[in-house]
Structure 1
Amino acid sequence: MHDDRKLVEARLERVLRERVRPAVHPVTTPLTVEIWSTSGEPVPVAEGLAAPTRPIAAGDPWGTPWGTSWFEVTGQVPEEWAGRTVEAVLDLGFTPRQPGFQCEGLVHEIDGTPVKGLHPRNNYIRVGAPAVGGERIHWRIEAASNPDLETDGVPFGPTALGDTATAGDAPQYVLGELRLAVFDETVWDLVMDLEVLGELMTELPLDGARRWEILRAIGRALDAVDLQDVNGTARAARDELAGVLAAPATPVAHRVSAVGHAHIDSAWLWPLRETVRKVARTASNMTRLLEEYPDFVFAMSQAQQYAWIKEHRPEVYAKVKKAVADGRFVPAGGMWVESDTNMPGSEAMARQFVHGKRFFLDEFGIENDEAWLPDTFGFAAGLPQIIKAAGSTRLLTQKISWSRTNSFPHHTFDWEGIDGTRIFTHFPPVDSYNCEMTGKQLAHAARNFKEKGVARHSLAPVGYGDGGGGTTREMVAKAARLRSLEGAPTVQWETPADFFAKARAEYPEPPVWVGELYLELHRATLTSQAQTKKGNRRSESLLTEAELWAATAAVRTGFPYPYEDLDRIWKTVLLHQFHDILPGSSIAWVHREARETYTRLAEELEAVIAGAQRALAGEGTGELIFNAAPHTRRGIPPGGASAASDEGARVRPVPHGGGYVLDNGLLRVEIDGRGLIVSVYDHAADREAIAPGQAANLLQLHPDFPNQWDAWDVDAFYRNTGSDLTDVSALGVEDSSVRVVRTFGGSRVSQLLSVPKGIKRLDIDTEVDWYEREKFLKLAFPLDVRAERYASETQFGHTYRPTHQNTSWEWAKFEACNHRFVHVDEPGWGIAVVNDATYGHDVTRTVRTGADTGTTTTVRASLLRAPRYPDPETDQGVHRFHHALVPGATINDAVREGYRANLPERRVTGGVTEVAPLVRVDNDAVVVSAVKLADDGGGDLIVRLYEANGGRARATVRADGFAADRALLTDLLERPLAGAEPPAVADGGFALALRPFQMVTVRLPRSTGSPA
């Protein structure tokens, strides 16, 4: 019997490939094709439609890298095809590779009306069903010759094709056949029957009766097919399969909610401008498929992608809006883009939801309840609170299934964040966000589902992503056959909301996962493309300042608040937080443009800040120091300004044993002849910070050649080898600091070490002229602290991670994310390492041997990498970093110094001696993360604050500059919270009592007479 099984399976595969599938289009006639090409940026549709063309034939090369070609296609349906179904089959030269990673096209009527996208596995256009005969075909196809970034047959290898500056002009594709064809629906249905049953059969138990029942039916169907007359015998073959296809699923079968989907990376192996076209092609396909199949439902996330269609392809957008109104094209996720969630700061993560949900509300009147992040590289522990504050309660993701060390124990669960907020979360057990509705995938979903016995529902996102065209008619047909089929999960097209409602109803008390959802993969995305990360951090900080000072100036002076400019800039920054841009995993073109964009945004924001501060400072020649950080510094109030004063003599380095000593009375720092820090002594605590015999500010260089995914991954074995960079090229005094210069390989590092007067902090400014390849550069601080866990800043608080490796879960976190600080401590004393631009880090611990058996806890900041794919020139060039070591720091000190490092003081000439803060908070544990005017333009003041230390806190908040007689608690979209008791306002202030890490948004209405 086993030999019989193998024979039938082999027979099925060959008959399908060589006889049945080709018979779907039994009669064809060629179309006439001409071409016009441009190697530059895409031209407007009207220009492409009118461009002069030349003849081109199947077999001819076309398409420079990243070029655009307009094909003119003409032909006529033969009269003898009247009464038959006719469609065009258009092969632009598609390769066997995955859809979305090669050429694509969008077909237009000659008047410019978009018809349908063309993709490798979706290359047909229905002409008539039935045709009347004689119909004339006249289309123009906008075709993108996006390179297939395989290199010598190796996917994801170094390539020069990732930027127009290096890609060359060699043709990328060879035109295939473009033809009209008769479509035999009976044969096509037979293909679907055989594929569904064949795929199901191979997944069923070998000794089960159902498998053999299907096998025998397939054998009979193949016997019924005359291989010389497939079209004439297809009906008889289908009749042999009808019985096994009619057998219903068992009542306990797993239930799959299928959601049409096309996960489109907003940039990755293509630039942003190409994503605009990928989205238009896919949306054209999906609106057409929705018209053809009334049960089908399609969901698309990322408000930015809808906005692109609206701006660039209004004809497509009109179809999308209609389908959304019909409830079948579903805006999902409520975010501006599917962003990274590890690295965006508190406000940026909040604004992803603000701008995403507001777009869906304004455009469609829809407020969806789920965050939709199938491909994001892990999830920060502060995210649940943000999701809830945006008015959502659910999360869908897929990527955690990629973890390499530990299998996540749930598919449906409650995820609890740092403040205690819980979000109902689902990981589709199909383990794909590009499900093709195959028997293997559905069987895997049913077997893999970890909630068996207590729940039965899971979701499957169905369709080709990344410009692959979305869901296909074949997937829809398979879903129809799997609606209730014995041996398979049941399948039903449903919206994400419908799925979540059913899943929650059947599982009202799911298990709880507390803390971050750490992805045990793609850890190097916290470091790759350092310039992109620095641009993001700087943009976030400048936006904080721009909103604060513009709001203060608007309230105090009538300064025109730049609503539209800030809205546009925020959206641009949010776009660049997409999970392949900010993580550094896109082609060179994307990161080149990102650097240019961040530079432009910085100039705009600096102009807003300068204008607002000039308005506040007034005319005069005095000097004021503006402070945007949320903690008082040297008498300058947070969010205010005071007159500059002489701070007295600066700290001077003292020569010491071949090195230098920096001492400001609070901190004594010894730098040896190698330029390494061998002592950091806290005078008040009578405590040494550096572990005995160790040196801090130590640059360490490791080989960095992961097993796969160069820009994404760093594998644990990188730590097995490496070198300490201790050779010094120059060591000397520069003003009140010590300059250290090192050279290694082809690179050069210059560092400036200093201790500011009156502050217990060591500042380290590092410039790296980096020309290494496949290397990983770390900055190490071995600290004399026994810490079993450490804190790293995340959105609206911090999260703890162990320093030990008791289990595989702890071991797997050998590279992790922090925002502005990492803090380690033992009872009574701690140390913070703060930064202005880095995210990746590792923390390890060792127990010293010999007479001293103390514990060394080493904090290392990840500075630079040099992967070769997808950008072979990743990080080459000059980089600047700021780090600081803060001995004796509490968590509150770490928060303060983290903000100081990212929001430096500004000196402005003016006539006033002080600018009072617009908002004051009387408890340093409560941090103000945003001060701005309300997005609706009404002039109300918005204040967002959070408890930063991880404890309960009471604080009084006061507004200064207008009469605040009311305060409203709102969600992130600045709408009053239902059922929330407004805080009582007295004397312009109100009291708040906050839970650990609780974030609160307050709206302070202003009278209509207030300047704005």
Structure 2
Amino acid sequence: MHDDRVLTEDRIARAVRDHLQPAIHGPTLPLRVSAWDVPGEPVEVEVALAADFRPTRVGARWGRPWGTTWFRFDATVPPDWRGLRVEALVDLGFDLPTPGFQAEGLAFTDRGVPLKGVQPRNTHVPVDAPPGGPVRFLVEAAANPDIADGWSFRPTPMGDPATAPPAPLYVLRRAELAVWNATVWELACDVAVADGLMRQLDGRDPRRHDLLRALERAIDRLDPDDVAGTAPDARAALAPALGRPAHRSAHRIFAVGHAHLDSAWLWPVRETVRKVVRTVSNVLRLIEDDPRFVFVCSQAQHYQWLKEHYPSLYGRLREQVAAGRFVPVGGMWVEPDANLPGGEAMVRQLVTGSRFVLRELGVDPDVAWLPDSFGYSAALPQLLTLAGARWFLTQKLSWNQTNRMPHHTFWWEGLDGTRIFTHFPPVDTYACELSAAELAHASRNYAEHGRGSMSLVPFGHGDGGGGPTREMLAAAARTADLEGSPTVTLAGPAEFFAAAQAEYPDAPVWRGEMYLELHRGTYTSQARTKQGNRRCEHLLREAELWCSTAAVAGRIGYPYDDLDRIWKVVLLNQFHDILAGSSIAWVHREAEQAHARCAAELESIIAAAQSALVEPGGAEPGEVLFNAAPYPRDGVPALGARPRAPAVEHPVQVRPEGTGQVLDNGTLRVTVDARGLVTSILDVACGRQVVPCGGAANRLRLHRDLPNRWDAWDLDEHALRGGVDLVDVDTMRVTERGLCLRRRFGDSMLTQHVALGTGEGAHAVEFETVVDWYESEKLLKAWFDLDVHAERYAAQTQFGHVFRPTHRNTPWDAARFEAPAHRWVHVGETGYGVALVNDSVYGHHVSRTSGPGPGTVTRVGLSLLRAPRFPDPQADRGRHRFRYALVAGTDIAGAVRAGYAANLTLRPTAGRGSVEPIVRVDHPAIVVEAVKLAEDRSGDVVLRLYEALGGRAAGRIAVAAPLAAAVETDLLERRVRPTGLVAADRAGFAVALRPFQILTVRLRLQRGSAVPR
């Protein structure tokens, strides 16, 4: 016995494929085609308009990888098409399942005005010509390779023009002028919604059968030989079923137009500029056609590119922003990685993005929007709130491998206790097409049923695919009030958040970081990109500090424009697929070059400011040491400078012992065996042994790293099982403060300096590891066995630290087997602790293991290098240098100090005299993170402080120049009601900070005052 439901479903699918879809356009007329291949990088449309186009045809191959071909299309509208809507149809050789990951085009008028993007599933170009009139338009066609190869993610040379083969990639498949049959298109949209909803309903649901029979009647009335003529009857057969209103209890969906657009990923930054133009062209046309449609865009950098490259399009965008139809959200320069940028860099993402949007578009963003970043730091709620955000949206944690987030609508509480109202769209995608399957999933998946009734759905082709389409808007119109479906309302995000918060003000609270149980390899992949970012972040700190000090002293003008430009380069390269190390080779090569240019320029700016602050050396040249760390070092005051003092002698003795060597500076006595492993660290003052019996520190281990799916993104737990210890030493020689080891392994070589610190660093065992790395699908970790009974460890993050368990009691604990930290991690027991500090790495593993006795051993692993094959088959090959140190007998305050010291070196400058610190802090928990001049160029000094240890801190900040006023501000330097600033006088101000509180203070100095030297 056959199942007539299945037969009817098959009949519907065939009717749509074979009859309905082909009849949406017709009759048609071939377009005349000519082409011009751009010899190099993309050119402006004005250049293309004057180019020498050569005739070509449909079926011709075009487009070497990453090249550009301009097509010119010509035709004459037939006189008998009067009164009909005419469109051009252009298929560049698209693969429909993967919009955004292949060839794309941008259509222009013959005068160079952008019309719209030409992309998979969005191939039509509007035509504005009368019957009998000429049609001419151009398409700038980008031959972007399908790097993902249909989501197979195989290694490919296509990610770099230097390695991509030159053969053309695409075939021009279609170029026609056509009549658009609106009634047939409407019928196709009716059938898509009815058929999609029917297939989501249970076979016992009468509504399923109602829709099935209505579809059957519609297909009965559709004549394959006259689809256009019978389409009205078919629509009428469906109308009753599509006109039934939704149940009052139906889940409510607020649909927000969106085009999550990666600022770089499987394409370079320059291609993103063109993707932005294609997307915005599409969106503006949809806005003009549909008065209900609202679209959001989250990255200020994209607005800047539009303003720079397509000012006329940017002008149209501004008009729609003013009308409330094009909504800036996010308030950040790009959608950055949310774990890896430093604290001040996250501030500048918000400040730079929000200032641009406020200045250029008149909007103060109140919705933070990070749908695709790879986990979310516990510092974010406070930072977002201080930047003016009221609400936060992401969906990425729906990708968790192990644990499901228990809420979709909740309050997120950060490090300091700040809460922000947060929503995870239960549709589980940032690129929804408003299909019935997606809407049904959003309703079924929603965790707050019975407490809340609504969710947000971002819709539009994402990653790089062009955003919403007219078919998606048609689906929204049909599901606005439809029985069996959630109700869909086109709206902006603020409308949703205001309604959701009003409905569910007592939503549950999630405290602390939101760790993504996936993509753990992004803490390590593309080490040079990460190292360049870290270096530039700290150089910017130094440049702003010394330029502020010199400007207040009247020695130089503050380089506002240079610093702003450099910050924007660094911020762009913190985009979540750049800093994370998950982009093609081209992207990372450009990021490394950009970081190198920024670093060189910042070094020059710092040197000029420091030289301006000291007197020339004269006949007896001197040397001044500058210190940008917030703690005094070697007699140099914090944030100030002093003449170089005679070095404090802490000589390191190196002597042989058995087959190894002993390093001794009087504070630590360290044994390094013949394998180069640290088998003993004795803290002399307290007699404490740091390395357990039979354990080792500085154990370099090579792990097989074969992710289950996403090469550059994922580090799966099986990679940490086993591995090969690198214990063969080619050479070992004694140096001034320790040992130098050389090892060979695989196709690589490693040189490592092991040394003891001196002076204030006498408690540190320092490691400088230089690796010539030529491995594939391997992970290099540095492991440290520590005789510390630690239930948890502290990991530094933006403006503070988080505690994570060292055990695996719960699935949530076990899933954090690799986690991010910035400058340090600290493990401790009552009375004793150890910190591992670094200058450029982020991935850490901390766990407990059994020791030789009844106790436990804490094991810390620092991830140095990976070697993924996709999307960059040569990822990380070449030379790398890492500096890290094990600091014995220290608490978290010591870890904070050591972390700054490892990243902010003392700078000697030729000259005489000294420079008073521009500010001094009298409480060890109050840290100065930034000293700069105000963005409004008033000359005011802006300080960013935070409480670093997780407790209450009341202290005084002394200011070197006489104060006229000190006011508390938000991150955008706008005055706010004081929460931490207590009192101010001419000499400084007092603060009282709660745990991990961030405080921004604006100082207006008295006229004529200067920082004394």
Same fold (TM over 0.5): yes
Answer with 815-824 or 160-169: which moved more: 160-169
**Match of 2:372, SS?**
coil
Q: Structure 1's 425 and 2: CA in aligned 2 closer, same or farther, altered over 3 A?
A: farther
**Match of 1:267, SS?**
coil
1:39 deviation in Å?
A: 4.3
Does the CA contact (< 8 Å) of 1:49 and 1:70 recur in 2? Answer: no
Q: Using the alignment, how far apart are the partners of 2:126 and 2:40 within structure 1?
A: 32
Give unmatched runs, 5+ long, in structure 2.
Answer: none
**Residues 203-232 of structure 1: per-residue CA shift (max 9 Å, x gap):** 112101111111111111111111221111
Q: Using the alignment, how far apart are the partners of 1:662 and 1:616 within structure 2?
A: 40
1:132 deviation in Å?
A: 4.3
Residue 975 of structure 1: aligned partner: 974
1:848 deviation in Å?
A: 2.2
Residue 291 of structure 1: aligned partner: 288
The correspondence for 2:157, drawn from 134, 150, 160, is 160
Q: Using the alignment, how far apart are the partners of 2:749 and 2:947 within structure 1?
A: 42
Amino acid at match of 1:501: A
**Residues 919-969 of structure 1: per-residue CA shift (max 9 Å, x gap):** 100011111000111111110000111010111111100110x21132100
Residue 80 of structure 1: aligned partner: 80
1:313 deviation in Å?
A: 1.2
Q: Using the alignment, how far apart are the partners of 1:50 and 1:39 within structure 2?
A: 14
Q: What is the 5 A alignment of 1:139-538? A: 139-151=137-149, 155-538=152-535
Residue 845 of structure 1: aligned partner: 848
Residue 623 of structure 2 is aligned to residue 623 of structure 1: yes
1:648 deviation in Å?
A: 5.0
Q: Using the alignment, how far apart are the partners of 2:951 and 2:669 within structure 1?
A: 32
Does the CA contact (< 8 Å) of 1:966 and 1:984 recur in 2? Answer: no
Q: Using the alignment, how far apart are the partners of 2:711 and 2:125 within structure 1?
A: 39
Does the CA contact (< 8 Å) of 2:968 and 2:978 recur in 1? Answer: no
1:652 deviation in Å?
A: 3.0
Q: Using the alignment, how far apart are the partners of 2:676 and 2:173 within structure 1?
A: 64
Does the CA contact (< 8 Å) of 1:434 and 1:461 recur in 2? Answer: yes
Does the CA contact (< 8 Å) of 1:281 and 1:467 recur in 2? Answer: no
Answer with 871-880 or 318-327: which moved more: 318-327
Q: What is the 5 A alignment of 1:795-810? A: 795-810=798-813
**Match of 1:984, SS?**
strand
Q: Using the alignment, how far apart are the partners of 1:316 and 1:238 within structure 2?
A: 38
1:721 deviation in Å?
A: 2.6
**Match of 2:812, SS?**
helix
**Residues 396-429 of structure 1: per-residue CA shift (max 9 Å, x gap):** 0011000111111000000111110111110000
Does the CA contact (< 8 Å) of 1:741 and 1:749 recur in 2? Answer: yes
Q: Using the alignment, how far apart are the partners of 1:2 and 1:796 within structure 2?
A: 66
Residue 547 of structure 2: aligned partner: 550
Residue 595 of structure 2 is aligned to residue 594 of structure 1: no
Q: Structure 1's 806 and 294: CA in aligned 2 closer, same or farther, altered over 3 A?
A: same
Does the CA contact (< 8 Å) of 2:101 and 2:148 recur in 1? Answer: no
Residue 819 of structure 2: aligned partner: 816
Residue 56 of structure 1: aligned partner: 56
Does the CA contact (< 8 Å) of 2:544 and 2:932 recur in 1? Answer: yes
1:846 deviation in Å?
A: 1.1
Q: Using the alignment, how far apart are the partners of 1:1011 and 1:158 within structure 2?
A: 59
Q: Using the alignment, how far apart are the partners of 1:611 and 1:116 within structure 2?
A: 48
Q: What is the 5 A alignment of 1:573-972? A: 573-620=570-617, 621-649=621-649, 650-758=651-759, 759-849=762-852, 852-912=853-913, 914-960=914-960, 962-972=961-971
Aligned length: 1005
Give unmatched runs, 5+ long, in structure 1.
Answer: none
1:1010 deviation in Å?
A: 4.9
Residue 996 of structure 2 is aligned to residue 993 of structure 1: no
**Residues 289-341 of structure 1: per-residue CA shift (max 9 Å, x gap):** 10011111111110001101111111211111111111101111101000001
Does the CA contact (< 8 Å) of 1:261 and 1:300 recur in 2? Answer: yes
Identity %: 55
Amino acid at match of 2:393: L
Does the CA contact (< 8 Å) of 2:31 and 2:175 recur in 1? Answer: yes
Does the CA contact (< 8 Å) of 2:967 and 2:1001 recur in 1? Answer: yes
Q: Using the alignment, how far apart are the partners of 2:897 and 2:496 within structure 1?
A: 44
Amino acid at match of 2:796: E
Does the CA contact (< 8 Å) of 2:197 and 2:436 recur in 1? Answer: yes
Q: Using the alignment, how far apart are the partners of 1:225 and 1:95 within structure 2?
A: 29
1:978 deviation in Å?
A: 3.8
Amino acid at match of 1:1001: T
Does the CA contact (< 8 Å) of 1:766 and 1:882 recur in 2? Answer: yes
Does the CA contact (< 8 Å) of 1:793 and 1:820 recur in 2? Answer: yes
Q: Using the alignment, how far apart are the partners of 2:313 and 2:474 within structure 1?
A: 25
Residue 106 of structure 2 is aligned to residue 106 of structure 1: yes
**Residues 62-119 of structure 1: per-residue CA shift (max 9 Å, x gap):** 0111111111111111001111121111111212341111111111111111111110
1:1007 deviation in Å?
A: 3.5
Q: Using the alignment, how far apart are the partners of 2:2 and 2:991 within structure 1?
A: 73
Q: Using the alignment, how far apart are the partners of 1:502 and 1:937 within structure 2?
A: 39
**Residues 973-996 of structure 1: per-residue CA shift (max 9 Å, x gap):** 011014658532234121111111
Q: Using the alignment, how far apart are the partners of 1:672 and 1:599 within structure 2?
A: 38
Q: Using the alignment, how far apart are the partners of 1:932 and 1:979 within structure 2?
A: 20
Amino acid at match of 2:135: I
Does the CA contact (< 8 Å) of 2:983 and 2:991 recur in 1? Answer: no
**Match of 2:331, SS?**
coil
Does the CA contact (< 8 Å) of 2:980 and 2:999 recur in 1? Answer: no
Q: Using the alignment, how far apart are the partners of 1:429 and 1:454 within structure 2?
A: 15
Q: Structure 1's 981 and 707: CA in aligned 2 closer, same or farther, altered over 3 A?
A: closer
**Match of 1:299, SS?**
strand
Amino acid at match of 2:749: R
Does the CA contact (< 8 Å) of 1:158 and 1:872 recur in 2? Answer: yes
1:144 deviation in Å?
A: 0.6
Q: Structure 1's 14 and 27: CA in aligned 2 closer, same or farther, altered over 3 A?
A: same
> Normalising by the residue count of structure 1, what TM-score does the alignment of the two structures yield?
0.98
1:150 deviation in Å?
A: 4.2
Residue 1004 of structure 2 is aligned to residue 1005 of structure 1: yes
**Match of 1:567, SS?**
helix
**Match of 2:332, SS?**
coil
Does the CA contact (< 8 Å) of 1:845 and 1:858 recur in 2? Answer: yes
Answer with 655-664 or 619-628: which moved more: 655-664
Does the CA contact (< 8 Å) of 2:692 and 2:851 recur in 1? Answer: no
1:915 deviation in Å?
A: 1.3
**Match of 2:26, SS?**
coil
Q: Using the alignment, how far apart are the partners of 1:940 and 1:784 within structure 2?
A: 50
**Match of 1:976, SS?**
coil
Does the CA contact (< 8 Å) of 1:92 and 1:175 recur in 2? Answer: yes
Q: Using the alignment, how far apart are the partners of 1:955 and 1:77 within structure 2?
A: 78
**Match of 1:967, SS?**
strand
